[in-house]
Amino acid sequence: MRVCFLAALVIFSLLALGRGEDIKRSHSVTWGARVFRDTHLERVIINEKSKFLRVVTRDYTFKQQTFYRKITQIVITDQNKNGKGGYAHLKQGGPGATFAHIHFKSQRNNGISFIVDIYGL
């Protein structure tokens, strides 16, 4: 009885580990929610080439020049769909504010490629 239980536990854990390696996910992120009458305020493409054995970072600041509209949603789409893309962090501002400061960081030995869409009222 114990041998069967241990064997089943080992097989289950090996299957779970093997399945986790096959899943490749992008690191896309969305902050906020769109509402009726939202307008597309800005679209920016963020690209940085990889550097050998280094982590690449980049900051992006969205500032409005004329009409100060409140941001309702920020959609960041990772172009690297193989799980080797970078990460995006909202440092300041964002939904509910009129500005946003976003920090992008790559994985070691990889570059970053993101599309940033900002919506607001």
Q: Is 101 left (phi over 0), alpha (psi -120 to 50) or beta?
A: beta
Query: For residues 38 and 24, is the Cβ–Cβ distance under 8 A?
Result: no
Q: What is the C-alpha separation between 29 and 105, in angstroms, rounded?
A: 13
Which pLDDT value is given to residue 10? 55
What is the reported pLDDT for 111? 93
Q: Where are the domains of the chain?
A: 24-120
Q: Global pTM?
A: 0.77
For residue 65, CA distances in Å to 32, 37, 41, 102 come to: 22, 21, 11, 18
Identify the pLDDT of residue 120. 94
Q: List the pLDDT tens digit at each of the 121 positions of the chain.
A: 565 555 555 555 555 555 555 567 889 999 999 999 999 999 999 999 999 999 999 999 999 987 889 999 999 999 998 888 899 999 999 999 999 999 999 999 999 999 999 999 9
Neighbours of 100 (CB within 10 A): 23
Contacts of residue 1, Cβ cutoff 8 Å, sequence gap at least 6: none
pLDDT at 23: 62
Residue 116: predicted pLDDT: 97
